[in-house]
Structure 1
Amino acid sequence: MAASPTRSPGRPSVTDHAAIERAAFALFQEQGFDDTTMDHIARAVGVGKRTLFRYFPSKNDIPWGQFDQSLAHFSRQFDAVPPTTPLADAVHGCVVAFNTFDESARDQHRFRMRLILQTPALQAHSAIKYEAWRRVIAEYVARRLSLSAGDHLPRLVGHVSLAVSVAAYEQWLDEPASSVTDLLDEQLTALRTYLA
């Protein structure tokens, strides 16, 4: 098939978030996160830097993938919970479901989480992402309890859920044979048992 006359020879007609992530992760692994630039990634993908910025506003956003879409899905998961479901069960189930991924993506997800949790340059950016994730939970808890998302209890549930999730991921990174969803389920159950 003939190439489009408006496209440079050798340049792919389209790219996507996944292709950019794969190229970026390969570079991060090869030369380190700090030493990889957006120029390096753009060259590896075969696109201009301006095109790259349309997919990811910064290098720090790449390890987070399509996080805004994931958060929208997370919120929809809570919206789908029957109103008769106990609040703790709803939060527990949605947090585990949010962290469920296809087994074929395990290695890439492990590398993603290692970057997010262990790269000092990403910590400030990660705090912004964590806050958005906690807010989804706080807003759900607030709706269920007729409170404001900024009230103490909804905010606390968001923070505790994040802490349990981070602890599960840290354990998963240390124990490659483990399952992050099993660890999350166990730790959320243990916390609920302890608090009861």
Structure 2
Amino acid sequence: MAEPTGLRERNKHERRRRLEDVALDLFERDGFDKTTIELIAAEAGLAPRTFFSYFATKDDLVLGDYSERLDRILTELDEHPEEEPAWDALRASFAAVASDYESEEHRIRRRFTIMANSPSVIARSLHLQAGWEQTLAERLAARSGTGVDDPTPRLLAAMALAIMRVSLQHWLITPNAPALPELVQHGFAQLASGLTPP
């Protein structure tokens, strides 16, 4: 009998999570560059080829569920009426996704530390962020009906992503920092009111 779709997806998610946990442990113990995909798979009790059913690269183990986070932002954005100002819709969407990060704080801290010491992961992260910016700009352009020659959607996307990145970094490295959604909301408010230099 075939495995029900819900159970299959749950099992796949658990195997993916197991690979992440094993990899993060190994990266912390041995260093990112010295840890091979073969070792990660062996420690997780999987064949190396199975690894690629879950992750495209070793870097993606550190970066986590990047595509899922983007999907979540787009879903949140789509729930806002097109008449709502784009900046307000972005602020609410990013703050909602920031709440998701808080439930994963320990794992995100581990990823952040590993990424900070790995140039290849930083490069992969920047590449993915550029893709996010493009996708988000296209969605904003579609919402507003602007043409491809209008730079406004891309500018809005770039600013929103910068706010999220800076807020996340501040939240991770600052003792007793405010909640991440609060930092994100504050970042959007600062830019909306005209950011003044310190």
Give TM-score scaled by structure 2 length. Answer: 0.82
- One-letter code of the match for 2:28? Q
Q: Which residue of 2 aligns with 1:80?
A: 79
Deviations 1:7-62 (A, max 9, x none): xxxxx999521111111111111122122111121111111100011111110111
Secondary structure of the residue aligned to 1:101 is: helix
Q: Is the 8 A contact 2:62 2:121 kept in 1?
A: no
1:101 & 1:176 partners in 2: Cα distance?
20
Specify the SS of the correspondent of 2:52: helix
- The change in CA–CA distance for 1:98 and 1:150 in structure 2 (over 3 A counts) is farther
Rounded Cα–Cα distance in structure 1 between residues aligned with 2:31 and 2:130: 26
> What's the secondary structure of 2:99's corresponding residue?
coil
Name 1:6's counterpart in structure 2.
none
Q: Which residue is equivalent to 2:154?
A: 155
| Structure-2 residue corresponding to 1:174 | 173
Give the distance between the partners of 2:194 and 2:29, measured in 1 at CA.
43
Question: Which has the bigger relative contact order, CA under 8 A and spacing at least 6?
Answer: 2
| Secondary structure of 2:83's aligned partner | coil
Contact 1:138 1:149 in 2 (8 A): no
For structure 2, the 5+ residue unaligned runs are: 1-10
Match of 1:54 in 2: 53
Deviation of 1:188 after TM superposition, in Å, equals 1.3
The CA deviation string for residues 80-107 of structure 1, in whole angstroms up to 9 with x for no partner, is: 1123322211011111222222644211
Q: How many residues align?
A: 185
Q: 2: CA distance between counterparts of 1:130 and 1:14?
A: 23
Give the residue type in structure 1 aligned to 2:180: V
CA distance in 2: counterparts of 1:147 and 1:124, whole angstroms: 31
The equivalent residue for 1:183 is 183
The amino acid that maps onto 2:190 is A
Change beyond 3 A, Cα 1:187–1:44: same
Paired residue secondary structure (2:46):
coil
Tell which deviates more after alignment, 161-170 or 132-141.
Answer: 132-141
Measured in 1, the distance between the counterparts of 2:165 and 2:150 equals 23
What corresponds to 1:7 in structure 2? none
Structure 1: gaps spanning 5 or more residues = 1-11
Give the Å deviation of 1:128: 2.0
**C-alpha distance in 2, partners of 1:153/1:13?**
39
Contact 2:37 2:48 in 1 (8 A): yes
* 1:101 counterpart residue number: 100
CA contact (8 A) 1:114 1:173 kept: no
Distance 2:154 2:102 in 1: 32
TM-score (norm 1): 0.83
* Cα distance, 1:114–1:161 mapped onto 2, change above 3 Å: farther
1:115 aligns with 2:114: yes
Q: Check whether the contact 2:137–2:156 (CA below 8 A) recurs between aligned residues.
A: yes
Q: Is the alpha carbon distance of 1:173 and 1:193 closer, same or farther for their aligned partners in structure 2, counting shifts above 3 Å?
A: same
Amino acid at match of 1:54: S
